[in-house]
A and B are shown apart, each in its own frame.
Chain A
Amino acid sequence: MQKLLAALLLALLAAPAVAEPITIVDAAGRSVAIADTSRIVAIGGTVTEILYALGVEDRIVGVDQTSNYPEAAAAKPNVGYMRQLSPEGVLSLRPSLVVAIEDSGPKDTIDVLERASVPFILVPKAHDAAGVVKTIRFVAEAVGEKNKGEALAAAVGEDLATVEKMRDRITEKRKAVFILGMNGTSLMVAGSHTGAADIFALAGVDNALAAMEGYKPAGDEATLAAAPQALVMMSERTGGITDDAVFAAPALAATPAAKDRRLIRMSGTYLLNFGPRTAHAARDLAAAVYPDLKLPVLPARPWTGHDDGAAH
């Protein structure tokens, strides 16, 4: 007890960012004690985005491969793929806390980090509006910023509620296909139980290929039969593929989407991160799929930036 007190005192003197130690039950059901949040390694684009939105970016000492928003995050030291973390690589950043999205690992690395007294907390992944708010609160609490977290969660919750109201204006839902990538003319698409399906649901768009599961190569005829009215691609990985090339693919050439030339290119992190910008992403996607509804723009927030709107 005395030892703990001494450690506490020391910690209080050492860093201003240190709050009272708290214990959090993480996404894997582990109880993690967190004392010092002055040096954070953020694993997962969602986590990084939330930390920036909370305004604690100065405490981030490292990020993973998927943390590419905001752009400044990419300049931080990168610890690689979130499921292949190297214990020494993470330790070399002298972190006091690792905040990682669910499924990060491997287990052996988490064990070593814990033995080095670096708490490793797994953040639950969001799949819907309620989940986004919960994730924000969770991350904020883990880094000792409960109040800022409440404010952020409230603002994002408000935006999500606005999006939900917008969805009510959709009378006839449209079907879209999320194209992950193209090899020549064959498509890699998103089925159900994917982040793409989740953002579609949030935007009031039906996934034309909900019958298949996960990210898979699409059958040409199945895609054609699904008759999507819109195609969605990530702007990051697909720059080299022209609209014409997409519409010329045998699976797509005869679809309503090709007829209307409705190909929506949006940032993948914007669409799939399920963080503070998700309401805006869902609205932008809905606005692009239903241009005739003339959906209103959501209020700009400090964390949404200005250059992530939908582009055609």
Chain B
Amino acid sequence: MIAARSVSLTIRGRTILAPSDLALRPGTVTALVGPNGAGKSTLLKILSGEIRPGSGEVAVDGTDIRAIAPAALARLRAVLPQSGDVAFAFTVDEVVRIGLAPGIPRATANEIVRRALAAVDLADRAAQLSPTLSGGEQQRAHLARVLAQLWSSGRGDACLLLDEPTASLDLAHQLLVLKLAQAQAAAGGAVLAVLHDLNLAAMAADRVVVMSRGRIVADGTPAQVITREMLGAVYGVSLGVERRGNRVFVLPAGMEAA
């Protein structure tokens, strides 16, 4: 599991992230939501070890993340970043293989790559050049790479950090991505996904963390967190929230059932 303790980041006097605590729990999908510029991606990058916080610390399984070598860290957590342009004309198959941990036997590696491609619906595109894929297909190719990293890491419960994984995907594939996230959580991994669509967050996440202006302002189950009041305070919009059992839905104003 990954835990951040009072991490903050200030760049040239501007506070990007105020001191925040966030512990990702094994077996849980956590959705990180909030308006643009709230600090969601910054917090995710700090949790992934990509950027160092100005203060505070991040621990992975109790060890300070700075003390973990990149190769070892890669076996503990996988990350799907927002932008995924590939510099050279790699094939989809080659892109996925970049995620594999070094030293995996050839046959195992081939099998993992095949499964990863099948899992993201790209089984028939293995030999295609990555730059010729559509935006959504490229996003899925990178997801397959992340899966290859998880599945070759040698442990089933590695953490998974996803930065807006559903952007540029059609509805079916948005659901597919969230299913894969849930599967990793079911295997014992801690999963964090930055999401914009509150309905998707409510549907797929066990826990929703809301950020606003560099702070965590709410943290709880979807039903606890996604409320009219929160939407008004954080997003500055007036929307309806519908409850059905323990599920919540965000609806355009005036459309909520009485």
A contacts B: CB pair < 8 Å:
no
Interface residues of B (CB under 8 A from A): none
Interface residues of A (CB under 8 A from B): none
